[in-house]
Amino acid sequence: MFDTHTPHHTKVVALGNQKGGVGKTTNTVHLARALAERGRKVLVWDLDMNSGATKHFGIPTDAFMGTFEVLIGEEEPRDVVLTSSEEGIHLPENLHLIPSRRKLEAIDETLAARNKFIARSDVLLKPIASLRGLYDYIFLDTAPNATAPTVASYKAADWFILSAIPDPFAVDGLKDALLDIHAVQQFGNPQLRILGVILSAVDERTRLARTLSDYVERAFRMQEDAGESVRFSTVIHRSTVIPAAQKVGRTLFETEPTHKVTAQYRSLASEVEARVAAAEGPNQSPETTTATETNRG
């Protein structure tokens, strides 16, 4: 199941924002799928008790062990990873999933009851360490709350991607998320870096979208003290093809391979690879760098 001969330089990417309904799961699933299409080995780890990513891949949410069992230390992540080789599982090639289920809502109490010396924020460190080398990317899809899986994802990740959609509270959500990132950089994970901000569900040329986009430009340029904007230049448009794909438990790459939004996710994936390559330098991951992508930065 795992290609252990050529170890991968694993990038652990958390997608967050303390707000729900901002496109985190949709972006995680489609970015992962787009990278898998580019031949990367990708793991999506569903850390949300609502199982959005698990459902998006059409996986029944109560049939498999997954996040809960790993976080309480009963299972090794590699033993609960789902792949397309499993009977009845329709995961895309190169894309694996650690599923979640409703039981995960009891994780904080369960951890506290089992061992009061376990720090909630540390529960992903060992599991993630055990997966390094097996994938090019591990995406952590978290819930919009501060339960153990969410807090732990900030501590275990190398990179952070923020999601925002044009709604009146988007700017507040981003500000809170930035505070969380700075806090975790000071207390526990100095390595964590912001990879970018995805603007999605954008209706073209609406004022709200422009306002949000302008805010992200200004706020994050200052924060990062960088010439280049942290906002990804690819914007994901709003389209009914997304809820339609979610309903049938597939990604756009299966249901609408030539749609504009599918193409936008391909372009986002190429930006992600270019940013990672630029930040990590050519020696880190020669196999993941192509000529066109090294032109940036």
Interaction site with ligand ADP (CB under 6 A): 20-26, 52, 200-201, 236, 238-239, 242-243, 246
Q: Which stretch binds Mg ion (CB under 5 A): 17-25, 76-84, 104-112, 266-274?
A: 17-25
Give the span between the Cα atoms of 66 and 86, in whole angstroms: 14
- Cβ atoms within 10 Å, residue 109: 10
Q: Which is nearer to Mg ion, 24 or 41 (CB)?
A: 24
Measured CA to CA, the distance from residue 110 to residue 277 in angstroms comes to: 39
Spatial CB neighbours of 102, under 8 Å, sequence gap ≥ 6: 49, 51, 61, 62
Q: Judged by CB under 5 A, which stretch of 2-10, 19-27, 39-47, 256-264 contacts Mg ion?
A: 19-27
How far apart are CB 177 and ligand ADP at their closest, in Å? 11
**C-alpha angle 295/8/91, rounded to 5°?**
100
Residues whose CB falls within 8 Å of the CB of residue 213, separated by 6 or more in sequence, listed in order: 199, 231, 235
Minimum CB distance to ligand ADP smaller for 59 or for 111: 59
Residues in the chain: 297
Interactions with Mg ion, residue window 220-259 (CB under 5 A): none
Size of the site for Mg ion (CB under 5 A): 3
The minimum distance between CB 50 and ligand ADP, in angstroms, equals: 8
Token readout for 282 is 């050519």
In this structure, how many other beta carbons lie within 10 angstroms of the beta carbon of residue 51? 23
149 binds, among Mg ion, ligand ADP, none (CB under 5 to 8 A by kind): none
Residue 236 binding: pick among Mg ion, ligand ADP, none (C-beta 5-8 Å cut-off by kind): ligand ADP
Name which of 12 and 198 has its Cβ closer to ligand ADP: 198
Binding site for Mg ion (CB under 5 A): 24-25, 52
